[in-house]
């Protein structure tokens, strides 16, 4: 009976203390924002928060919102996914505009060196036509066979 009591005591000890470690809930880090840049409209789109980031009406302050002004909406054609960017994303706007405008809107002909066309001067046409005096055989045959003169 003694062995049963030891077993029962051990059972209660393990049942009461089943290593209930406090579970710490670790919150997942917020998702990293992913931005698309529209260089023609100069607008960023945050795909995580579904917000647009654009210059306000004064042209100096950056604004974010769920919608953009209609005039910018007409210019939203080509976009580029930004791999790396600083926080806030518009901090590098000058570089983004320079790099991605060239990438998206340049054509191969833009990088070809264009040589200036040479200037060709045409000889001046005299106002009056000077008739050359005929010499030699030509003068002889004209007298002999007589060319008809054109009447004006």
Judge whether residue 8 has pLDDT over 70: no
Q: What is the pLDDT of residue 25?
A: 79
Residue 53 belongs to what H/E stretch?
strand 51-55
Give the chain's end-to-end CA distance (angstroms, integer): 152
The pTM score is: 0.51
Task: Give the pLDDT score at 121.
Answer: 76
Long-range Cβ contacts of 81-89 (<8 Å, 24+ apart) = 81/34, 81/35, 81/36, 82/34, 82/35, 82/36, 82/37, 82/44, 85/35, 88/53, 88/62, 89/33, 89/35, 89/44, 89/46, 89/53
Predicted confidence (pLDDT) per residue in 109-150, tens digit: 666 777 777 777 777 666 666 677 778 888 888 777 776 665
Specify the pLDDT at position 66: 92
**Domain chopping of the chain, boundaries:** 44-104
Which has more confidence, 123 or 15?
Answer: 123
**pLDDT greater at residue 71 or residue 106:** 71
Residue carrying the six token digits 């960023």? 44
Give the residue carrying structure tokens 């200037």: 119
Interval 73-123: pLDDT, tens: 888 888 888 877 778 888 888 888 888 877 666 666 666 777 777 777 777
- How many other CB atoms sit within 10 Å of the CB of residue 123? 5
CB under 8 Å to 80, separation ≥6 — which residues?
Answer: 36, 37, 39, 100, 103, 104
> What is the structure's pLDDT at 52?
92
The tens digit of pLDDT for each residue in 31-67 reads: 778 889 898 888 999 888 899 999 888 888 898 899 9
């Amino acid at each position: 009976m003694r062995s049963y009591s030891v077993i029962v005591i051990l059972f209660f000890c393990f049942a009461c203390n089943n290593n209930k470690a406090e579970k710490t809930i670790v919150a997942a880090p917020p998702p990293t924002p992913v931005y698309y840049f529209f260089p023609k409209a100069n607008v960023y789109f945050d795909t995580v928060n579904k917000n647009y980031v654009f210059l306000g009406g004064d042209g100096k302050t950056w604004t974010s919102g769920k919608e953009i002004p209609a005039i910018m909406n007409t210019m939203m054609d080509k976009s580029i996914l930004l791999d790396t960017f600083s926080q806030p994303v518009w901090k590098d706007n000058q570089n983004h505009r320079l790099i991605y405008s060239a990438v998206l809107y340049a054509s191969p002909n833009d990088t070809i060196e264009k040589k200036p066309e040479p200037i060709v001067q045409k000889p001046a046409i005299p106002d009056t036509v000077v008739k050359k005096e005929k010499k030699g055989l030509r003068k002889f045959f004209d007298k002999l066979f007589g060319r008809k003169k054109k009447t004006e």
